[in-house]
Amino acid sequence: MSKRGIVLYLHVHQPWRVRDYTVFDTGVDHDYFGNGSEPHRNNREIFLKVADKSYRPMNALLQNMLDAHPEFKVSLSITGTFLEQAEAWAPDVIDSFRKLVQTGRVEIVSETYYHSLAFFYSRSEFEHQVEAHRKKIRELFGVETSVFRNTELAYNNELAKWAEDYGFKGILSEGWDPILGWRSPNYVYRPATTERIKLLMKNYRLSDDVAFRFSNREWEAYPLKADTYDDWVNSALGPEGEVVNLFMDYETFGEHQWAETGIFDFFGDFVKRWIANPANTFYTTSEACDAFEPADTVDCHQTVTWADTERDLTAWLGNAMQHEAMRHLYDLESDVLRSNDEGLIADWRRLTTSDHAYYMCTKWFRDGDVHAYFSPYDSPYDAFLYFMNAVRDVRYRTIQHHQEN
């Protein structure tokens, strides 16, 4: 009988933010992602800041946990856009991730290279980005991927069937109550319409306690201590539970929750407490898929994500600007790809990153402060204008290329 355990999955990502790209730049300057004077949109400055606050200290902590505790394991998804920036500006960060992977207890989860929503627009482009990501992971870390997560945990039955047909043994999703119904996320499931692939569903309450509520002084559980959290996880599993899936952004540690909040000490203390119980362990995503049989089948016709209170795609495709931006972008796909211009194609693919649409979100109320926190722009309308100017220039370059050839 398998031990009950935790699947700790952390998502590592940085986008190529579009600079203040005006209509006067189109047709003249083709650098959409340059490191200009505005620090909130300077990709290099942002990466180096987060590397100091999050990537380096968290990787060091993970290495210490792996060295000290043979039961400790973690799964990571690392986007291609992050890896591009790390290779350019902080190769030591890649070295530290590589050292983690070399322990054999850190698994890389597959995803789209560009952190895109291509699954919903172009299946061929989606599959290209998945393969490009697997190739990049193979080149940098020397490992193969066997579990898939789509951008922003966007998930439905169709995606699960695709992942099974593509050869993945597992897939990740949000453990959203309307999808689960009366069931608990603390089991392994089988997606409807599939025969072999297994589904790991995020325990969003316990995950978000750390990712979003940890430093909130108005939260009734503030300040959260490791022993309290250990009690919560044990209680969530109960006598019959199998796995608690703690899924969150890697930048939770040090960037979203600053070191001054005690997040690093909390994490280290919790890991020690959890594995001090011989009945407990950690699993990578693929190990959890191997260790447990599906408790039931989960049917998910509508798309669910891990974002906002609605847990749907409206953070990216909830207003006319977002739909218009994505339509114009993907309308260029065939012409851009036919150009065989590597620079043009790379720029177009960087624009498929979902963050660009997220910055155009106009939802306020409960989620507005979250969108404002993550956006480097003064308003969603600025994000739309700069993005569309870049798309216009991609169209101009594409037309120019085909005329010259």
Residue 308 counted as domain residue: no
How would residue 369 be classed by pLDDT, with cut points 50, 70 and 90? low
User: pLDDT by residue (tens digit) across 197-243?
Assistant: 999 999 999 999 999 999 999 999 999 999 999 999 999 999 889 99
Provide the pLDDT for residue 405: 75
Beta-sheet pairing, 74-78 with 280-283: unpaired
Q: Is 80 exceeded by the pLDDT of residue 375? A: yes
CB 59 within 8 A of CB 65: no
Please tell me which residue, 309 or 342, carries the higher pLDDT value.
Answer: 342
User: Last residue of some domain: 298, 331, 361?
Assistant: 298
Provide the pLDDT for residue 2: 87
Residue 125 counted as domain residue: yes
Summarize the confidence of residues 388-403 as an average pLDDT.
96
Instruction: Please check whether residues 59 and 99 belong to one and the same domain.
Output: yes
Instruction: Please check whether residues 352 and 218 belong to one and the same domain.
Output: no
Q: Is 80 exceeded by the pLDDT of residue 389? A: yes
- Residues of the domain holding 101: 4-298
259 contacts: CB under 8 Å, gap ≥ 6: 53, 57
> Taking Cα atoms as reference points, which of 19, 58, 48 lies closest to residue 35?
19
Instruction: Please check whether residues 42 and 120 belong to one and the same domain.
Output: yes
Instruction: Please check whether residues 151 and 278 belong to one and the same domain.
Output: yes
Provide the pLDDT for residue 136: 98
Summarize the confidence of residues 26-51 as an average pLDDT.
89
Provide the pLDDT for residue 367: 46
Provide the pLDDT for residue 239: 87
User: Last residue of some domain: 298, 326, 361?
Assistant: 298
User: pLDDT by residue (tens digit) across 89-99?
Assistant: 999 999 999 99
Tokens coding 72: 């400790």
Give the lowest-confidence range in 18-22, 369-373, 390-394: 369-373
Q: Is 80 exceeded by the pLDDT of residue 181? A: yes
Instruction: Please check whether residues 335 and 388 belong to one and the same domain.
Output: yes
| 92 phi and psi angles, rounded to 5 deg | -65, -25
User: Last residue of some domain: 298, 330, 353?
Assistant: 298
Provide the pLDDT for residue 364: 63
- HSE-CB at 1 with a 13 A cutoff on CA atoms is 7
Residue 266 counted as domain residue: yes
Provide the pLDDT for residue 36: 67
Instruction: Please check whether residues 115 and 259 belong to one and the same domain.
Output: yes
Q: Is 90 exceeded by the pLDDT of residue 35? A: no
Residue 307 counted as domain residue: no
How would residue 372 be classed by pLDDT, with cut points 50, 70 and 90? low
- What residues are labeled active site? 152
Domain of 161: which CATH number?
A: 3.20.110.20
Tell me what the pLDDT averaged over the chain comes to.
95
Q: Between the CA of residue 162 and those of 46, 151, 155, 360, what are the distances in Å?
A: 35, 15, 11, 29
DSSP-derived 3-state class of residue 245: strand
Residue 304 counted as domain residue: no
How would residue 371 be classed by pLDDT, with cut points 50, 70 and 90? low
Provide the pLDDT for residue 40: 75
User: pLDDT by residue (tens digit) across 25-34?
Assistant: 999 999 999 8
Residue 303 counted as domain residue: no
> Taking Cα atoms as reference points, which of 271, 402, 266 lies closest to residue 334?
402
Rounded to whole angstroms, the Cα distance separating 113 from 119 reads: 12
Instruction: Please check whether residues 130 and 87 belong to one and the same domain.
Output: yes
Overall number of domains in the chain: 2
Instruction: Please check whether residues 159 and 275 belong to one and the same domain.
Output: yes
Provide the pLDDT for residue 366: 44
How would residue 169 be classed by pLDDT, with cut points 50, 70 and 90? very high
Instruction: Please check whether residues 133 and 225 belong to one and the same domain.
Output: yes
Instruction: Please check whether residues 283 and 321 belong to one and the same domain.
Output: no
Q: Is 90 exceeded by the pLDDT of residue 133? A: yes
Q: Is 60 exceeded by the pLDDT of residue 370? A: no
Provide the pLDDT for residue 110: 98
Percent of the chain with pLDDT over 70: 97
Residue 257 counted as domain residue: yes
Q: Between the CA of residue 259 and those of 106, 126, 127, 205, what are the distances in Å?
A: 23, 37, 38, 22
Instruction: Please check whether residues 143 and 84 belong to one and the same domain.
Output: yes
Instruction: Please check whether residues 369 and 225 belong to one and the same domain.
Output: no
Residue 305 counted as domain residue: no
